[in-house]
Amino acid sequence: MSVLVPPPTLRASARVYAAPRMTRAGGATRDKASQALLHGLRQTGPARDAAIGDLHALLMRGAHHELARRAGQLADVSRGERDDLATQAADDALAAILAKLDTFRGASRFTTWAYKFVLLEAGVKARRRAWQGREVALEDQSWGQFADRAPSPQETLEDTELLQAIGVAMETDLTRHQREVFVALALNAVPIDVLAERLSTTRGALYKTLHDARRKLRAALARAGHPLHDHTGGGT
Amino acid sequence: MSPTDPERGLAARLLGPSEPEVSCEECFELLDEYVELELAGADADARLPGMRAHLQGCPACDEDHRSLRALVARMDRD
């Protein structure tokens, strides 16, 4: 489902793109291994079982990679529990991959396609585990506290005025739900998967709420004469 | 620039990208292709418009992107 503003060329382009040419060392070998794994998964009987075993091993490597990246967030999590999280992530990713195998369109190597499932699962599990027992306050008092703070040394007068204008627009232009989601995600940096779990919704639904709130705020700021290009330029 | 980059201004983090962007679902759908284009040195942003803006606005998808890119690069090296 397209919930935001996908560029008009996106869907057409996504259909026609061929797999990128692999120019890195080992790319051809990786391509063959990836194709062999996909071929095995499309067989029946022992060949498929063996491919599923290989895929699960690959997903375990991906899960451990992700959890190792997040070691700082999981400092109080035992080695055994991290291993359990990795296994859960690999199991859940395997189920998702097998259910969606027919949707693989070959725009990347199969292994890259498979890895994204396990990184998503491991990332979500790690974020939720890191926030386990922490309260997510769903009220918009945080903005008032923020707006009353002393400006940082790096903050210009223009920044301060813009932030004050954002606070005004939040009150006048956002619904209560949009305000709560905006404050939790954009101001308090609550992980979106954690908030989605607490509100029994999805990452995509929450991001749409955030996107709509940002759009309303931008429009309000523009009406109030605040230039935005210097603050929100999208360079990488 | 990452959505959590400390050098990114607070107003920018609050207001997110101004350009059209894909949704979280579309980002996940295209992420593997985007990463392989990046690693192959292709212009991933021109090929898959809307991805870069979304990654700037959504910290969770940006983390997924960085992690997949690092993992695939490592696997290609090994």
Q: What CATH number should be reported for the domain holding residue A126?
A: 1.10.1740
Is the domain of A115 the same as that of A148?
no
Does residue A4 lie in a domain region?
no
- Would the pLDDT of B75 be above 80? yes
Q: What's the pLDDT tens digit per position in A96-142?
A: 999 999 999 999 999 999 999 999 999 999 999 999 988 887 766 66
Domain count, chain B: 1
| CB of B8 less than 8 A from some CB of A | no
Is the domain of A161 the same as that of A187?
yes
Q: What's the pLDDT tens digit per position in A56-66?
A: 999 999 999 99
In 3D space, the residue among A130, A51, A14, A61 whose CA is nearest the CA of residue B70 turns out to be: A61
Domain that holds residue A165: 141-232
- What is the residue whose two structure tokens read 């709130």? A213
Is the domain of A170 the same as that of A82?
no
Domain CATH for A171: 1.10.10
> Domain end: A130, A160, A190, which one?
A130
Does residue A100 lie in a domain region?
yes
Q: What's the pLDDT tens digit per position in B1-54?
A: 555 554 457 888 899 998 999 999 999 999 999 999 999 999 999 999 999 999
Does residue B4 lie in a domain region?
no
Is the domain of A124 the same as that of A164?
no
Does residue A5 lie in a domain region?
no
Of B8 and A81, more confident: A81
Dump the DSSP string for A64-100: HHHHHHTTTTTTTS-HHHHHHHHHHHHHHHHHHHHHT
Is the domain of A82 the same as that of A38?
yes
Is the domain of A119 the same as that of A147?
no
Q: What is the pLDDT of residue A33?
A: 87
Burial of A165 (0-12, 13-18, 19+ CB in 10 A): middle
Does residue B1 lie in a domain region?
no
Is the domain of A120 the same as that of A204?
no
> Domain end: A130, A159, A189, which one?
A130
| CB of B41 less than 8 A from some CB of A | yes
Of A160 and B61, more confident: B61
Does residue A1 lie in a domain region?
no
Is the domain of A115 the same as that of A36?
yes
List the structure tokens of B2.
């990452």
| CB of B22 less than 8 A from some CB of A | yes
Q: What is the pLDDT of residue B51?
A: 98
Burial of A91 (0-12, 13-18, 19+ CB in 10 A): middle
Is the domain of A125 the same as that of A214?
no
Neighboring chain A residues of B10 at a CB cutoff of 8 Å: 155, 159, 163
Does residue B55 lie in a domain region?
yes
Q: Are the Cβ atoms of A191 and B4 closer than 8 angstroms?
A: no
pTM equals 0.84
Does residue A13 lie in a domain region?
no
Neighboring chain A residues of B77 at a CB cutoff of 8 Å: 25-26
Domain count, chain A: 2
Neighboring chain B residues of A236 at a CB cutoff of 8 Å: 1, 52, 56
Is the domain of A114 the same as that of A150?
no
- Would the pLDDT of B62 be above 60? yes
Does residue A2 lie in a domain region?
no
Domain that holds residue B21: 10-77
Does residue A56 lie in a domain region?
yes
- Would the pLDDT of A144 be above 90? no
Is the domain of A34 the same as that of A126?
yes
What is the maximum span of chain A, computed from C-alpha positions, in angstroms? 69
